[in-house]
Amino acid sequence: MIRDTAAQDRALAPATLPLWKRPAARRAALIALPLVLGLWGLSGWLSAERGVNAERLRIAEVTRGTLVRDAVVDGRVVAAVSPTLYAPSAGTVSLRIQAGATVKTGEVLLAIDSPELKSELSREQATLASLDAEVGRQRIEAEKQRQLSRRTLDEAEIALNARRRDLERTERAHRMGALAEIEVLRAQDAVKSAEIVREHALRGVDLESRSVGFDLATREQALQRQRLAVQELERRIDALHLRAPIDGQVGTVSVIDRAVVAANTPLVTLVDLSRLQAEIEVPEAYADDVGLGLQVSVRLGQNEAPGRVIAVSPEVVASRVRVRVEFEGGQPEGLRQNQRLSARLLFESKPDVLIVPRGPFVEAQGGRHAWVMEGDIAVRREIRLGAQSVGAVEILEGAAPGDRIVIAGTDLFGDAERVVVR
């Protein structure tokens, strides 16, 4: 019989190991840890009021950078100089150009035939000829009156000299005793009477000369007025040939050939293509921020051109304010009248601020609340927004750099304070 090794074996007391080194404890910890983590996550999910799929949301990170406060508006290309020619008088139009034609200053664009104006000119010319003849007759009559008054003065001079000679003879005869003293006195009275007649004749010459001068001046002024009337009619008839006031292009022709038009009817509009500007319509909410010299970035198709505000309309039409923008650094090539464009108004630049891309959450919550991501939970938080631009908004309070904010899709959250984002 073979003996076994039982006689060689002896019992040993079991060793006492730390709990974390025991295999059973390790297996229990490995099983319990996921359960604890799951329960902790489940508690967060259970505390949320609703859940939303992440694909239906837009989430952006809060960063620190420079915010340019701006606004994008629509507009069109307009000519800085775009005169419209109107009919100076009623008549029949004869066109000499077509829309799109290039014209030079002084070139005749169209003519208007006005029989009424021509007839009026003929009447005024006849009146002018009559007045001219009347003035000629008045000059002759004035000269005749001056001659008569001078003759009267000359006769008075001759009569006075004759009376003075009679007085000398009478005085010599009286000294010799041939005549009585009464004869001397009579001769002296005759001399004084002749002097009075001469004085009146002299004054008459002056008065007559002034009188005929006034009459002649009145007739000459009437003649001058008639000449001016004729010149004005000639000018109006010459203005019936409408000429281009600028070098440019015919934009629109508002009438057809041989059409009868009334006075002040718009006929032709010219466009100076060398001086084009942008006319934009700014919403009334931005009107107070728009001033002369404001920088503007004008987008024309795929190209952008810098500009500045040169004029702001003083009135609001349909909640819009019209603003004129002049291109800087030269006018872009290929512009056309009434071409559509968009413009970006650059109000101000704020460096080193907290910014987040703009989204519907700004309007949806009035800028007072936002949902900030905490893991997979979107938590509603009070915020305060500052300046806003087309693409970003400034956050003054309620967020920090690195926070992730739901900027679109918050309409799915309703009034929930916590939302699970799956």
Q: Is the pLDDT of residue 42 over 50?
A: no
Q: What is the mean pLDDT of residues 239-246?
A: 92
Give the C-alpha separation, 185 to 295, whole Å: 107
Beta-bridge mates of residue 249: 102, 271
Burial 306-321 (b: 16+ CB within 10 A, else e): ebebeeeeeeeeeebb
At 304-358, the pLDDT tens digits run: 899 999 999 999 999 999 999 999 988 888 888 888 999 999 888 888 888 889 8
Give the C-alpha separation, 347 to 69, whole Å: 6
- The verdict on pTM exceeding 0.85 is no
Q: Is the pLDDT of residue 123 over 90?
A: yes
pLDDT value of position 46: 47
Between strands 377-382 and 418-421, the pairing is antiparallel
Per-residue H/E/C for the chain: CCCCCHHHCCCCCCCCCCHHHCHHHHHHHHHHHHHHHHHHHHHHHHHCCEEECHHHCEEEECEEEEEEEEEEEEEEEEECCCCEEECCCCEEEEECCCCCCEECCCCEEEEEECHHHHHHHHHHHHHHHHHHHHHHHHHHHHHHHHHHHHHHHHHHHHHHHHHHHHHHHHHHHHHCCCCCHHHHHHHHHHHHHHHHHHHHHHHHHHHHHHHHHHHHHHHHHHHHHHHHHHHHHHHHHHHCEEECCCCEEEEEECCCCCCEECCCCEEEEEECCCCEEEEEEEEHHHHHHCCCCCEEEEEECCEEEEEEEEEECCCCECCEEEEEEEECCCCCCCCCCCCEEEEEEEEEEEEEEEEEECCCHHHHCCCCEEEEEECCEEEEEECEEEEECCCEEEEEECCCCCCEEEEECHHHCCCCCEEEEC
The residue type found at 159 is A
pLDDT band of residue 29 (cuts 50, 70, 90) is low
Cα dist. 284→281, 293, 295 in Å?
Answer: 9, 19, 18
At 170-203, the pLDDT tens digits run: 888 888 877 788 888 888 888 898 888 888 888 8
At 360-391, the pLDDT tens digits run: 888 877 778 888 888 888 888 888 888 887 78
Please answer whether residues 343 and 75 qualify as being in contact, where contact means their C-beta atoms are separated by less than 8 angstroms. yes
Between strands 260-261 and 320-327, the pairing is unpaired
At 156-173, the pLDDT tens digits run: 888 888 888 888 888 888
Lookup: tokens for 369: 């609340």
Lookup: tokens for 235: 């000018």
- Residues of the chain with pLDDT > 90, as a percent, come to 30
pLDDT band of residue 21 (cuts 50, 70, 90) is low
pLDDT band of residue 80 (cuts 50, 70, 90) is confident
